[in-house]
Amino acid sequence: MESNSLLLPAATPHSTFIIFWALATFIGLIFAYLTANFLNSGLAAFMSAGFIIGSLQYLAIRKYLPKPWYWIVANIIAFPVGFLVPHMILFPRNPHLGAYFVIPLITIVQWFYLQMSLKRSFIWIVILNLLVFLPVSFESGTNAWLFTLELIAACLITGVVLYLLIRYSSREILGDA
């Protein structure tokens, strides 16, 4: 057995995976936001946000990726890194500039889990930063409806990207690609 072999995806997802992932992510974001506001920021708030979002997303990926509980751990680490590093270390005096580093840092930490079992998992970082990070970063101002639509679109985009990565990896391993 090779020491650097990939952990195989457990199954190939159906297209309903995208909707389930998007719902889990959207609901997770809402609960994470409420919890973070209750905890009033800081490390505990971001760790709990990562736990909530990762746990709900776990429900979507548990059938398809090996050791899916690692996804929860990755998110518990990713959210504090993504939010605290840019705002407290890189740009403590310019929170607007720090905001541009949140999604890249979160996706890089998540990639460490995804690369264990998905071929070309670097696409997670590239596509999410191009398609999700850029539009949402230019803030919707005070328009809550527009922000909600952007958030739903981001949840769907992440679902599509992960669905394609899992499907592609599964097909290539099975020799169907």
Q: For the segment 37-80, what is each residue's pLDDT rounded down to a tens digit?
A: 888 778 888 999 999 999 999 999 999 998 999 999 999 999 99
> Quick one: tokens of 82?
């993504």
What is the predicted pLDDT for the residue at 4? 44
The predicted structure's pLDDT at residue 60: 95
**Torsion 81-84-90-91 (CA) sign:** positive
Give a yes or no: residue 65 inside a domain: yes
Residue 28: give the domain boundaries.
16-170
Residue 159 lies in a domain: yes
74 in a domain, yes or no?
yes
pLDDT band at 177 (very low <50, low <70, confident <90, very high): very low
- How far is 92 from 26, CA to CA, in rounded Å? 29
Q: What is the mean pLDDT of the chain?
A: 83
Residue 119 confidence class, pLDDT cut points 50, 70, 90: confident
User: Does 147 reside within a domain?
Assistant: yes
Q: What is the pLDDT of residue 85?
A: 87
Q: What's the helix, strand, coil split of the chain in %, to 5?
A: 75, 0, 25
**What total of structural domains would you count in the chain?**
1
Please report whether residue 7 resides in a domain.
Answer: no
In a domain, 5, yes or no: no
Q: Residue holding tokens 């690692």?
A: 70
- Per the CB < 8 A criterion, the answer to whether 58 and 71 are in contact is yes
pLDDT reading at 168 higher than 50: yes
In a domain, 176, yes or no: no
Q: Is residue 77 part of a domain?
A: yes
Across 21-39, b (16+ Cβ under 10 Å) vs e yields bbbbbbebbebbeeebeee
pTM recorded for the entire structure: 0.83
Q: How many CB atoms lie within 10 A of CB 43?
A: 13
